[in-house]
Amino acid sequence: MFAATRTGVLTAKANGAYRYWAVLVLNNNGDTGFISCSEVELRSVVGGADLTSPSTPVTVTSGTLFPASNTVDNNLGTYFLTGSGQVTNQRFAFDLVTPQKVVQMGWRKRGTGLASQAPKDLTIQASADGATWDTVASFTNSTGWDDFLRLFTW
């Protein structure tokens, strides 16, 4: 399944264990209003169990009407929506509480349709403190979103 093109060189962070992991969405697939997300999964092995759970603390750059926890509640009917017009450089950060290695991220877009609100270019980031972020991997041109979980592997 086409997902995206990984660009650049993986950093040393890609092999490290970090408490905080984030998806920095650089832009979406053309919607001028929002970036939306139904579910995010983080995995320590490709195809492994989801490290996030409904109790995983989530911090988002913007948006107040929708709880960020909607991205980890394992409910496909709930979603997070950025503030209106905030369609670039939006960070979705997940606190795994203990340092863990992550090698794969899954993103399920909001509902049916609405592919224009899904990420197009994104960066995976890691952090020890949730404040200072380092790039782990970058993906570009993630287009043609369907209603299934899209996987990004590094």
Write out the residues near Ca ion by the rule CB under 5 A: 38-39, 70, 73, 75, 78
* Residue 38 or 116 with smaller CB distance to Ca ion: 38
* Residue 96 or 136 with smaller CB distance to Ca ion: 96
SS3 of the chain: the string is CCCCEEECCCCHHHHCCEEEEEEEEEEECCCCCCCEECEEEEECCCCCCCCCCCCCCEEECCCCCCCHHHHCCCCCCCCEECCCCCCEEEEEEEEEEEEECCCEEEEECCCCCCHHHCEEEEEEEEECCCCCCEEEEEEECCCCCCCCCEEEEC
* Residues near 48 by beta carbon (within 8 Å), at least 6 away in sequence: 104
* Residue 68 or 102 with smaller CB distance to Ca ion: 68
Instruction: Return the residue nearest Ca ion (CB atom).
Output: 78
CB of 129 to Ca ion, least distance (A): 27
CB of 76 to Ca ion, least distance (A): 6
* Residue 107 or 152 with smaller CB distance to Ca ion: 107
CB of 59 to Ca ion, least distance (A): 16
CB of 72 to Ca ion, least distance (A): 7
